[in-house]
Structure 1
Amino acid sequence: MTSKAIPVYPVLLAGGSGTRLWPVSRELFPKQLAKLFGEDSLIQATIKRLSPALDTGLVRIVCGKDHESDIGRHLREIGIDPQNKIITEPCGRNTAPAILLALRHILQEVDDAVVFIFPADHVIRHPKRFQEKLLAAQRLAEAGHIVTFGIKPYYPETGYGYIEGGDPAGEAALSIRRFVEKPDRRTAEVYLASGNFFWNSGMFAFRASVMAREFARLQPDMSERFRQMMNGSPSLALEDYASLPNVSIDVAVMEQTKIGVVLPADLGWSDIGSWKSLYDFLPKDEANNVLNGDVIVQQSDHCFVMSHERLIAINRLSHIVIVETPDAIFVSDMETSRDVKEIVAILKAQKRLQAQKHTTVTTPWGSRTTLEAKPGYRVHRLNMFPKECAEIHDEGPGVKTLVSVDGTARILQNDREIRLTPGSAVSVTPMETIRIENPSSDEIRLLEIETTAPDTQEENA
């Protein structure tokens, strides 16, 4: 009689602060939610390429509470029910606590499983090779190894950590001699020439029971605190989780374990850590430009230009990055485009909203787009999904007016029901809450007009 195969859970780590690909990525809209090329967001593309080697119906996503709604929507768009698939962290605490959190959830469901760990925002050019490596990694994990995917380097990159491989360990894997932090240029050239150093991809495979045992052995305090904090509960208190060490899985486990192996892989992989790395990954035109959106180019080469709403016209430029969004434009020399994170730090210090969110913010019921914000008034467009509802609250001292522009909304206000048809309006007085419902099977659109005192407008913008 054959033994029952243990289940295989793909786990995606979907945290992120949205600094390296600003202005597209923001604190409330990290890069895994962005559609940087093609029709899929990065998280959707990451899930899709797991099939058929892995069952995407068992996928689990570890993310922050602020991103739960958006990630659920992205899952539904590719035909995956997000119910019980999203594991929320009370706050960001690096990859070791995030992986241990996922392990605890999985081991509450099953006695054991093979667990794969993937960053949700990386890209891979050769999906067939990736599928083959997934199956090899699964076999290694089932045999008791902790597997990390090592990307074969093809140039002396100084922005990645490296893994040095040792003796053969089966399935073309090598034992792990050591992890190395980001090297300088000369050291990276030595690593490239040696042939047994690999870029650290942040992808792993292991049995849940094996990794839990290694956590207990190598990080006994963290493991025991996790056990006490969860204690059969599916959620954690913010103060408990925030007290955990802010440590990576590499430092917590991989640099110390004796059962780790590195599986070399030539996948056309990139972590899309900057606009330059995205430029390097994407196909170029005859002038080595990457153009996206409404762009006109004249006598320019080696440029990355991305337009979202407005026409961008460039003339006689070379090695330049230009990225346009409705509320911000980033222009940089290609080689130093990763310095955008320093600009984001300035925006955060100035408490600018452009560091936190876009003019359009998605919600469980639809989206809210800021069309105009001036002293004394603001105008938003509300797009409501079919059969959804929302509450609108006026905290004062001004007045909110809702106008239907497309479709009929059902308004519940002060125990009375109002049908808001195109062209009609309803006002929300200070400190009042009304309920808006979309009873139809089509999306509806409304305008929300806020009138406020000028000083209040500036404080809340």
Structure 2
Amino acid sequence: MIVPVVLSGGAGTRLWPVSRESYPKPFMSMGDGESLLSKTYIRAASVAFANDQSGEIVTVTNRDYFFMSKDELARARLGAGQAGVFMLEPVGRNTAPAVALAAHYVTERYGRDTLLLILAADHLIQNQPRFAAAVADAAALALQDKLVTFGIVPAGPESGYGYIEAGEALDAGKRVVRFIEKPSLEKAREYVSAGNFLWNSGMFCFKAGVVLDEMACHAPEVAMAAEACWAVMREARKLEENMLEIPAEFFARVPNISIDYALMERSDNVVVVPAEFGWSDIGSWNAICELTQPDADNNRTTGKAIFVDSSNTFVQSDSRLVATVGIENLMIIDTSDALLVAHSDKAQDVKKVVAQLKSQDHDAYRLHRTVARPWGTYTVLEEGPRFKIKRIEVKPGASLSLQMHHHRSEHWIVVSGMARVLNGEQEIFVAPNESTYIPAGHKHRLENPGLMDLVMIEVQNGEYLGEDDIVRFDDKYGRVVS
């Protein structure tokens, strides 16, 4: 039995303005409309549910991304009865703690000899049959109690990836001599020429019990802290549920370290399976650019674009037409509330924009104009002094929290669907082309009791319109702070 473990925690700052803190890289849609996370789930399902076996997919992610991740699992349409469990981190602590806790869960549920397949949520793999073959090779080695990693056969010298030096052959794999950090371009050329160096993919396969034993040997501080954290989770007796909260107090004691540093680089029991299955970690806009077909002048686009006397230029636009005249070697990424224009040689420096926005506490590093919530989405249409206008969409059966605002009143106009509104002590139904008014200081709740999406326009008015002016009294999504 193989249990895929999807690690979904990367912020993807080099892919701003599409990837943001509240909507990170795994949720980005590719050209076919599927997100990276959805593609990962489909790939994981091909392993977890192969030959009609009963299994599940484990996702380790931040508490804030639970509902979006759950929706992505549903969109992957994996079939009835196919299960997923979510282990929710209060904060990110890198991959070693995530792998350790997943291994404890799988050991508890399925036994120490169950194989884990560790997958990143934000990788793209284009050749599924070759991926399946590489997983089969890795599983055969993992059954021999090896720690197995996947090494990508280099397509050329690349300074953006770590490298693995491979030694003598062992069945379908090779013993790992050493791991190497991201090298200079000159060193990368040497490694590719040598022929026995592979890109480090960050994907692994091993028995749950073996990885816990190896971690206890080579990273005891991680092993002990993770075990203490798991003991608290076991006491909660919620292991049959699909949402496992990781306790913040105990998780904070687990060292913040990657599985590579904590274990793979220290163990002498590591084997690499060389693989060629169209892998990319989508680490920059250059990687996104390479996924699209060029025109005669090597211009590429995702969305609407016109190129005049331009070359080597990439455009991604959510909705607007982008026209370029007389430019070259540029990347233009247009979203509803932010525009990135960068030289293609500076793709790795986009993260510096995010760092500057963060230092200024600018909302653009965290939020899009359209913001996902457990109940649906809201889009800021316009705002100014003392007013803000939103489009709110509530999923069937979903409801906002019972809440109150100190500093703003709200007018709600229903566009489509039916709204059930609790306004103070009064409960009313609001149909399309009808409205209601929520004064500041009133407890209120909005619910969609129907079978179709509820769409409404909200007009806020007041001296302060920040999203933190919300006092929650009750919430079906666990967002009330006690």
Question: Paired residue for 1:27, among 21, 26, 37?
Answer: 21
Paired residue for 2:65?
A: 67
TM-score (norm 1): 0.94
Residues 50 and 131, structure 1, Cα contact 8 Å, conserved in 2: no
Question: Paired residue for 1:248, among 258, 271, 289?
Answer: 258
Alignment partner of 1:48 is 2:18: no
Paired residue for 2:435?
A: 425
Residues 304 and 320, structure 2, Cα contact 8 Å, conserved in 1: yes
Provide the rounded CA distance (Å) in 2 between the counterparts of 1:413 and 1:185: 63
Amino acid at match of 2:358: K
How far did 1:248 drift?
1.0
Provide the rounded CA distance (Å) in 1 between the counterparts of 2:407 and 2:125: 52
Alignment partner of 1:85 is 2:120: no
Residues 374 and 457, structure 1, Cα contact 8 Å, conserved in 2: no
Provide the rounded CA distance (Å) in 1 between the counterparts of 2:291 and 2:272: 24
Provide the rounded CA distance (Å) in 1 between the counterparts of 2:82 and 2:404: 32
How far did 1:437 drift?
1.9
Structure 1 residues 202-246: Cα deviation after superposition (integer angstroms, max 9, x where no partner): 000001111111011112222122222221245432232123211
Give the direction of change, closer, same or farther, for the CA distance of 1:460–1:437 in structure 2 (3 Å limit).
closer
How far did 1:282 drift?
3.2
How far did 1:82 drift?
9.1
Structure 1 residues 376-402: Cα deviation after superposition (integer angstroms, max 9, x where no partner): 100111101112222363422231111
Q: Say which is worse superposed, 226-235 or 271-280, in terms of deviation.
A: 226-235
Structure 2: which 5+ runs fail to align?
Answer: 236-243, 470-482
Paired residue for 1:4?
A: none
User: What percent of counterpart residues are identical?
Assistant: 35
Provide the rounded CA distance (Å) in 2 between the counterparts of 1:269 and 1:62: 22
Amino acid at match of 2:92: G
Provide the rounded CA distance (Å) in 2 between the counterparts of 1:352 and 1:318: 30
Structure 1: which 5+ runs fail to align?
Answer: 1-6
Residues 366 and 384, structure 1, Cα contact 8 Å, conserved in 2: yes
Alignment partner of 1:356 is 2:366: yes
How far did 1:49 drift?
2.8
Paired residue for 2:215?
A: 215
Secondary structure of the corresponding residue to residue 370 of structure 1: strand
Give the alignment of 1:38-437 within 5 angstroms: 38-55=32-49, 58-80=56-78, 85-112=85-112, 113-171=114-172, 173-231=173-231, 232-233=234-235, 234-391=244-401, 393-437=403-447
Secondary structure of the corresponding residue to residue 400 of structure 2: strand
Provide the rounded CA distance (Å) in 1 between the counterparts of 2:279 and 2:402: 45
How far did 1:457 drift?
4.2
Provide the rounded CA distance (Å) in 1 between the counterparts of 2:468 and 2:86: 31
Provide the rounded CA distance (Å) in 1 between the counterparts of 2:432 and 2:466: 31
Paired residue for 2:473?
A: none
Residues 75 and 82, structure 1, Cα contact 8 Å, conserved in 2: no
Amino acid at match of 1:152: V
Provide the rounded CA distance (Å) in 2 between the counterparts of 1:397 and 1:273: 42
Residues 391 and 433, structure 1, Cα contact 8 Å, conserved in 2: no
Residues 398 and 452, structure 1, Cα contact 8 Å, conserved in 2: yes
Paired residue for 1:3?
A: none
Residues 76 and 82, structure 1, Cα contact 8 Å, conserved in 2: no
Amino acid at match of 1:411: V
Secondary structure of the corresponding residue to residue 345 of structure 2: coil
